[in-house]
Amino acid sequence: MNFSFYTEYPWWFSFFCILAGGIYAYVLYRREKNFDETPKWVRIVMPVLRFIAVTFIAFFLLSHLLKNISRTVEKPIIVFAQDNSESVRIGKDSSFYNKEYPQKVERLVAALADKYDTNNYSFGDRVSHALSFGFNEKQTDMASLFEEIETKFSNRNVGAVIIASDGLYNKGQNPLYSSRLNKYPIYTIALGDTSVRQDLILSKVLSNRIAYLGNKFPVEIQVMARQLSGKTSVCTVSKGNEVLFTQQVMISGNNFSASIPVQLEAKETGLQRYTIRLSQIAGEASTANNVKDIFIDVLDGRQKVLILADAPHPDVAAIKNALENNDNYEVTSVLAAAFNSSLAGYNLVILHQVPSSKNPIPKVLAEMDKAMLPVLYVVGSQSSLSAFNNAQRDLSIPASGGKLNDALPVISKDFSLFTLSEALRNYSSSFSPLQCPFGNYKINSSASVLFSQKIGLVETQQPLFLFAQTGERKEGIICGEGIWRWRLQDFSEHNSQNIFNELIDKTVQYLSAKIDKSFFKVISKNNFYENETVQFEAEVYNDSYELINDPEVNISITNTDSKKFPFTFNKTSNAYRLDAGLFPVGNYRYDAKVKVGAKMYSQHGEFSVAALQVETTNTIADHALLFSLAKKTGGEMVYPGRMDQLAERLNKREDIKPVSHSEKKLSDLISLKWIFFLILALLAIEWFMRKINGAY
């Protein structure tokens, strides 16, 4: 260590410190007559002690700083990372990875620890700070390993990284891309089996997450087979003990793939578990990839939408066709003159140019008001503007004697009720004009405008498409007819109606969504993978509908064998949270309860835990990726039989060396504790000598 002193004052100021100490000691002791009989050395020592103490005190008043330069030597850091995913152990050498391989790794790490600062990791679907040889991780994310190394060892002396893996990854970025910024060599130990072995693989099952009771839904099963030409398997789809589908699979080549379409019927509501299975063939490398489970949430009904029109119009067909592309909606279109049914069961009513002079629909409007049904008005040339103004309070359009304006849409930058895609936002300015009633519109200040009107070259503040809410009832208003042209225009330019369908779908989705005003809510996903922890959030409200978290919230999770797992939620700042941990594959239901005062609230639901089998889909190790990763960074790929030589090869590298670091530190000299005790000792010794010689 090197020490030096700094001060903000000139060094010659120190002369005044010495002068002050000398004057103080001289004035104090020059007239002391009580010391005439004391030994001479005592009369010399006491003023010297006072001189030194006062000089030190005055010296420290100059705010001297102590500069301390320390040097440390950092050994090179070697990171050893072990792939702990399932795919490593699949193959003919599984016993080697269970017994011999862990011992080889321990010997290598011990050899490296003598000269280097070793840090050990395991990685799979997450990175852990310890070596593990369970080979039970359900995914492989090598990119997260590089992120962890960069985060922890940035600007450190990283000598090399050793990665023991089979080169297969199925989560995160390509390792070759994620390691592009690394400045250290990567050595790879090539694990796994690269031979193409006999294997029948259920590679993927494609299906919708939602189906509706009584409907049929499609499932596509994708099958792969290697080195099994001429063999036969049987594909079955079952639900519990009931077999719903069976088909024989004839394997016609050594690199075989096929797709099997299946139509299943949704017969029960709730989360339904279906098992897809390929019968085993003798000699397969792995049978774990012959089975997959899928979970379908079967709902009891769709959102029902009623379109009431004054007369046949292409707008009605355009809106209906857009909604029928979404399985969540069941659409009924009726002429207002022919409608004499009840609105019970409908979730949304779309009124196209009604009320009108021919069809004032007073009963429909009264029933809508009573039931607080959400509504979407489409105003046009046949609309009765006076009846329209009386039916709602969000927009007033003056009677114009049938005069219409061609108005182009201009999207509002401040609209935030729901999110629109960039494609819709960018293309909306190209939509054809709508024919809107002429006049100065009066809009409620609480309304949200999606599109305003552009008449000619002038962008006005007049609304073209707006939304409003009165109490719990939502309303939407399209202030013009001709929206059917938007659908045709979208198809003409994009060969699809996706942009138009998105606009209608999100409009109806927002209007028909019910406002949940319950006092107890439990929020959770309805599907988890087996490597995900099951998490819940809960909210409790008082009678003023304010969030509280004083009472205790309990939940009981029940599996298909009726075994219950009770939990208590943890409290957050104003709500609740629960991490219930990992659950086995299967279906579960939960019952949550909370007592607020004398009232008991409960919530019920279901969730499923699905198997994650991506590690068993591909069983052929990718040593080419490991070789490329090592070569790109200046490292080397070795096989497990030669991994003991890695320590010797790292020792021979001249660029892996210890690094010396210098650290400069400035501190106030007066803050040193030993300075205080030195001055205290000088004054104490002087005081003691004065006392024993008769002075005060």
Q: What single string gives the DSSP state of each residue in 19-53?
A: HHHHHHHHHHHTT--TTTTS-HHHHHHHHHHHHHH
Q: Are residues 491 and 569 in the same domain?
A: no
- Radius of gyration over every alpha carbon of the chain, rounded to an integer in angstroms: 40
Q: Are residues 337 and 284 in the same domain?
A: no
Domain boundary among 576, 610, 644: 610
Looking at residue 364, its pLDDT comes to 93
Whether 532 has a pLDDT exceeding 90, the answer reads: no
User: Which residues on neighbouring strands pair with residue 561, listed in sequence order?
Assistant: none
Phi, psi of 105 (to 5 degrees): -65, -45
- Give the domain extent around 55: 2-70+666-692
Phi, psi of 426 (to 5 degrees): -75, -35
Q: Are residues 191 and 322 in the same domain?
A: no
Report if residue 658 sits inside a domain.
no
Domain boundary among 512, 534, 554: 512
Q: Are residues 179 and 262 in the same domain?
A: no
Report if residue 661 sits inside a domain.
no
C-alpha to C-alpha distance for 392 and 369, rounded to whole angstroms: 10
Helix axes 40-60, 14-29, angle to 10 degrees: 140
**Where is pLDDT greater, at 694 or 613?**
613
C-alpha to C-alpha distance for 305 and 326, rounded to whole angstroms: 12
Q: How confident is the model at residue 501 (pLDDT cuts 50, 70, 90)?
A: very high
Looking at residue 271, its pLDDT comes to 80
Report if residue 55 sits inside a domain.
yes
Q: Are residues 371 and 286 in the same domain?
A: no
Average pLDDT over all residues of the chain: 86
End-to-end CA distance of the chain: 45
Tens digits of residue pLDDT in 399-408: 877 788 999 9
Tens digits of residue pLDDT in 62-75: 776 766 766 777 88
Q: How confident is the model at residue 360 (pLDDT cuts 50, 70, 90)?
A: very high
Whether 490 has a pLDDT exceeding 70, the answer reads: yes
Mean pLDDT, residues 137-145: 88
Q: Are residues 112 and 86 in the same domain?
A: yes
Q: Are residues 203 and 175 in the same domain?
A: no
- Mean pLDDT lowest among 30-44, 123-137, 309-323, 620-634: 30-44
Tens digits of residue pLDDT in 637-654: 999 989 888 998 998 888
Ordered DSSP codes for 462-476: EEEEEEEEETTEEEE
* H helix runs in 591-671, sequence order: 614-617, 623-633, 646-652
Looking at residue 517, its pLDDT comes to 74
Looking at residue 37, its pLDDT comes to 65
Looking at residue 188, its pLDDT comes to 94
∠ CA(407), CA(411), CA(416), 5° rounding? 140
Looking at residue 435, its pLDDT comes to 93
Q: Are residues 257 and 139 in the same domain?
A: no
C-alpha to C-alpha distance for 22 and 50, rounded to whole angstroms: 9
Report if residue 117 sits inside a domain.
yes
> Domain holding 244: CATH number?
2.60.40.10
C-alpha to C-alpha distance for 484 and 568, rounded to whole angstroms: 54
Nearest to 347 by CA among 509, 518, 517: 509
The pair of structure tokens assigned to 86 is 């399932």
- Mean pLDDT lowest among 177-191, 344-358, 368-382, 471-485: 177-191
C-alpha to C-alpha distance for 287 and 202, rounded to whole angstroms: 10
Q: How confident is the model at residue 235 (pLDDT cuts 50, 70, 90)?
A: very high
Write out the H or E segment, with its range, that includes residue 165: strand 158-165
Whether 35 has a pLDDT exceeding 70, the answer reads: no
Q: Could you give the percent of the chain with pLDDT greater than 70?
A: 94
Q: Are residues 147 and 254 in the same domain?
A: no
Whether 548 has a pLDDT exceeding 80, the answer reads: yes
> Domain holding 639: CATH number?
3.40.50.410
Contact assessment for residue 541 and residue 549, using Cβ atoms and an 8 Å cutoff: no
Looking at residue 151, the DSSP 8-state letter turns out to be H
* CA atoms 618, 621, 627, 632: torsion sign: positive
**Where is pLDDT greater, at 477 or 212?**
477
Mean pLDDT, residues 190-206: 86
Q: Are residues 601 and 625 in the same domain?
A: no
The pair of structure tokens assigned to 405 is 């304006």
Helix axes 40-60, 673-692, angle to 10 degrees: 150
Contact assessment for residue 385 and residue 358, using Cβ atoms and an 8 Å cutoff: no
Nearest to 109 by CA among 120, 98, 101, 99: 120
Q: Are strands 458-470 and 448-455 parallel, antiparallel or unpaired?
A: antiparallel
Amino acid at residue number 86: E
Nearest to 94 by CA among 2, 246, 197, 19: 197
Q: How confident is the model at residue 5 (pLDDT cuts 50, 70, 90)?
A: low
Q: How confident is the model at residue 313 (pLDDT cuts 50, 70, 90)?
A: very high
Domain boundary among 299, 327, 352: 299
Contact assessment for residue 283 and residue 273, using Cβ atoms and an 8 Å cutoff: no
Looking at residue 655, its pLDDT comes to 86
Report if residue 454 sits inside a domain.
yes
State the burial class of residue 590 (Cβ atoms within 10 Å of its Cβ: 0-12, 13-18, 19+). Answer: buried
Looking at residue 104, its pLDDT comes to 92
| Preceding amide of 355 cis, omega within 30 | yes
Looking at residue 603, its pLDDT comes to 93
C-alpha to C-alpha distance for 614 and 630, rounded to whole angstroms: 25
Looking at residue 293, its pLDDT comes to 85
Q: Are residues 329 and 475 in the same domain?
A: yes
Contacts of 65 (CB under 8 A, 6+ apart): 5, 6, 7, 666, 667, 668, 669
Report if residue 615 sits inside a domain.
no
Looking at residue 314, its pLDDT comes to 95
Report if residue 242 sits inside a domain.
yes
Report if residue 582 sits inside a domain.
yes
Mean pLDDT, residues 304-317: 93
| Domains in the chain, number | 5
Whether 556 has a pLDDT exceeding 60, the answer reads: yes
> Domain holding 599: CATH number?
2.60.40.1220
Q: Are residues 394 and 486 in the same domain?
A: yes
Amino acid at residue number 269: T
Whether 696 has a pLDDT exceeding 70, the answer reads: no
